[in-house]
Amino acid sequence: MGRWAAAAEALLVRHWWRARPSGLSLALLPLAWLYRALAQRQRRRAPLPGRLPVPVVVVGNLVAGGAGKTPTVIALVQALRAAGRQPGVISRGYGREGAGVREVGTDDSAAEVGDEPLLIHRRTAVPVWVGRDRSAAARALCAAHRGVDVLVADDGLQHAALWRDAELVVFDARGTGNGLLLPAGPLREPLPQHLAPRARVLYTDGVASTPLPGGFAQRRIALAWPLAAWRRGDAAAALPLADLRGRRLLAVAGLAAPQKFFAMLQAQGLDIARLPLPDHHDYATLPWPLSTTDVVTTEKDAVKLDPSQLGATRVWVVPLDLALPAGLVEELLALLPLPAAAPPLP
């Protein structure tokens, strides 16, 4: 993303999350009406989704980015495994090169498969497949991993051609912002008055931010991993965040809502300078001087960092964990057909 495009996006985002529409947002209303008309036409023209070999839970946002979808997918996959299921994950792979269907490998780059699918695979070790055609990705995953008995679709809520047995809609404390559709506001689709029967809502900041009923998750950070140890999964090398107190840290985050990450670090008593970057920043070049001593960053950023570029800079990776509310996984499982009831692979 170019410098001016990033600045324009940042300006829009600031206006999206105001409680009431600003003058700029109101001026963009005609484009929001056009966006809604185009989205409705696309849904009408989408092929009818075909049932997939195993049940599907779609996790997604009604708003554009930053509501905690990726930590929710990771937490849900881990909870499904704890419940005795064998999950896999499908995703478009936003920002990757190419649109075809492929499996995510631990040694793949974010450019090849997308930063979020790569992070999900590294954190969960379950099969993850990416492709613009999510249904094709799902069928390929099930053909390659016949033990998988449930799929979690990462960010497929607006993908009308994708079959789903249950939906989990994610909101953070910002809710729906000014309540307008893109580009006047953050909404990808209007907020419904009532939940669909097979949908559930999760509030990832522990507070209800829309009128829709839902469960409350809790975000938490506790450990800092040296980048090399995080890449090889060496849990013994992780340190309590308290061990970084007293150091001058540069906090770097290429997220849709980086300020939340910074606030969590400061709540842990860390002394940070903030460096927010555009969502999905590619790290083709380092955004900080090589003289920087200590950098603390997110896992989504860490998957794109090349250790050979870092010089003497120490990079600390801070995983963001999400504690799901009690009973949510059981509610979602109750919406799914039993594995034996799923149709056979073609």
Q: How far apart are CA 255 and CA 278, in angstroms?
A: 6
Q: Is the pLDDT of residue 256 over 90?
A: no
Q: How far apart are CA 14 and CA 30, in angstroms?
A: 19
Residue 268: its pLDDT value, please? 96
**Contact call for residues 243 and 229 (beta carbons, < 8 A):** no
**Contact call for residues 89 and 124 (beta carbons, < 8 A):** yes
* Per-chain mean pLDDT for the chain: 93
Q: How far apart are CA 23 and CA 15, in angstroms?
A: 9
Beta strands in the chain (DSSP E): 56-61, 87-91, 102-103, 128-130, 150-154, 166-171, 199-203, 215-216, 218-220, 223-226, 239-240, 248-254, 271-277, 294-297, 314-317, 321-323
Structural domain spans, the chain: 45-218+324-341, 222-319
Q: How far apart are CA 270 and CA 244, in angstroms?
A: 7
Residue 4: its pLDDT value, please? 75
pTM for the predicted model, two decimal places: 0.93
**Contact call for residues 178 and 17 (beta carbons, < 8 A):** yes
Tell me, what DSSP letter sits at residue 241? G
| Cα separations in angstroms, 144 against 127, 196, 210 | 9, 32, 40
What's the whole-number mean pLDDT along residues 60-70? 91
What is the identity of the amino acid at 175?
G
The tens digit of pLDDT for each residue in 9-62 reads 888 989 999 999 999 999 999 999 999 999 999 999 998 899 999 999 999 999
Q: Is the pLDDT of residue 343 over 60?
A: no
**Contact call for residues 191 and 181 (beta carbons, < 8 A):** no
Per DSSP bridges, beta strands 87-91 and 294-297 are unpaired
Coil/strand/helix, residue 103: strand
Tell me, what DSSP letter sits at residue 51? P
Residue 345: its pLDDT value, please? 46
Residue 339: its pLDDT value, please? 60
Q: Let me know how long the chain is.
A: 346
Q: How far apart are CA 6 and CA 62, in angstroms?
A: 22
Q: Is the pLDDT of residue 342 over 80?
A: no
- CATH for 45-218+324-341, options being 3.30.310, 1.10.287, 3.40.50, 1.20.1530: 3.40.50
The tens digit of pLDDT for each residue in 79-125 reads 999 999 999 999 999 889 888 999 999 899 999 999 999 999 999 99
The tens digit of pLDDT for each residue in 286-341 reads 999 999 999 999 999 999 998 888 999 999 999 999 999 989 999 999 999 876 54
232 membership: H or E segment, kind and range: helix 227-232
